[in-house]
Amino acid sequence: MEKKIINLGIFGFGVVGQGLYEVLNRTKGINARIKKICIKDPNKSRPIDQSYFTTNADDILEDPTIDVVVELINDTQAAFEIVSKALRNGKAVVSASKRMIAENLPSLYQLQVENKVPFLYEASSCASIPIIRNLEEYYDNDLLNAVEGICNGSTNYILTKIFEENWSFDVALKEAQDKGFAETDPTLDIEGFDPKFKIVILLLHAFGTFVKPEEVFNFGISHLNDFDIQFAKQRGCTIKLIANCRRQNGNVNAYVLPHLVKEHNLLFDVYNEYNGILLESAFTDKQFFVGKGAGGTATGSAVLSDISALLYNYRYEYKKIKQSNSPTFTNDVRLKVYLRYKSPEQVDLTGFYNITEKYESPNYRYVVGTINLEKLKESKWLESKDVNLLVLE
């Protein structure tokens, strides 16, 4: 994009939109300016001049002087329609909408190919950590074995407060919401959907494999109770919600589950709203990335990084898709887990390959054993609030 100044059309002016506005105005080295911002509610008070705003999407999508469309809204279907139309109109697009991207990756990939325009979405995966760019550029020819880590700042903030400051779950959640890390409806975060959307995106860039979000099993932290916390502390562990994708035997598996993490693990010391990502490869062994994973300016900085990259005609090449060894997705993988429940009829232990530890008391029961991920994905007993699951290292 050979222009001295690029004009931006932005959709959405919430936490991330305002974060982008702030970092753009504080950064002197990027020749980009906001021309128009499309919002839903014209009567809502906003901290910048009202002349920026419109409620008509075509004021951005049909304006030939706008070079880059920046999509930052919460409505998944509307976001997809905006991005699709912008790409068809030949405009470069930057997005932070992980759910929209994860649910529409094949279509969005095809739109880029057909219209020969870039679509960048670094902010969709780990906010301030440039993980997609690294997978695309540094690891493009490396034989990756795994991508795993903490990629939801909201749940990591909650778990940090529970373990480091002995806060209750509800108090920690409320604080995360007050700070803008968690939504008013925190379901996508605490039930593990948000990191699932992110791992679906990372799967494509790491392994060249398209996977639908519903194929990936996610289980969050809302079932966590004091008994689980004591179990972890007695073993010198903390609990982290971890998204994982790993290549094994020509296949790749993925899931989002709470893990018992020991002190030697690099993820142990990732606190508050920070994210941490571990990459394992055949040639470089392990590499570790850490950075802020929630908040307006952290995500806004990733959006701005994509805008800056467009000035140099950057686009994703999706090299792993074009390689002949893209692995097939599977849920056929064994996990060692802690399963806590209240009464025997709540769970089915026959699916375990083995059980190495068992505990019973009037109030709680648990087992430690090995089970197939497919069994967990199919199980109904994890729907009970009296049942919780943790993966052991």
Of 93, 86, 105, nearest in space to 6 by CA:
93
Pairing of strands 119-120, 365-372: unpaired
Alpha carbon distance 124, 127 (integer Å)? 7
Of 210, 190, 187, 188, nearest in space to 200 by CA:
210
Hey, which bits of 179-264 come out as E strands?
217-218, 237-248, 251-262
Q: Residue 198 catalytic?
A: yes
Of 120, 174, 134, 125, nearest in space to 153 by CA:
125
Residue with structure tokens 């429940």? 341
Which residue among the candidates 91, 161, 198, 320 is catalytic per the annotation? 198
Of 298, 98, 320, 99, nearest in space to 179 by CA:
298
Question: Measuring CA to CA, how many Å separate 241 from each of 13, 38, 66, 290, 383?
Answer: 29, 35, 40, 15, 18
Give the residues across from 290 on adjacent strands: 276
Hey, which bits of 126-227 come out as E strands?
144-150, 217-218
Exposed e or buried b for every residue in 336-354, given b needs 16+ CB within 10 A? bbbbbbeeeeebeeeebee
Of 118, 305, 141, 281, nearest in space to 208 by CA:
141
Where in the sequence numbering do the catalytic residues fall?
198
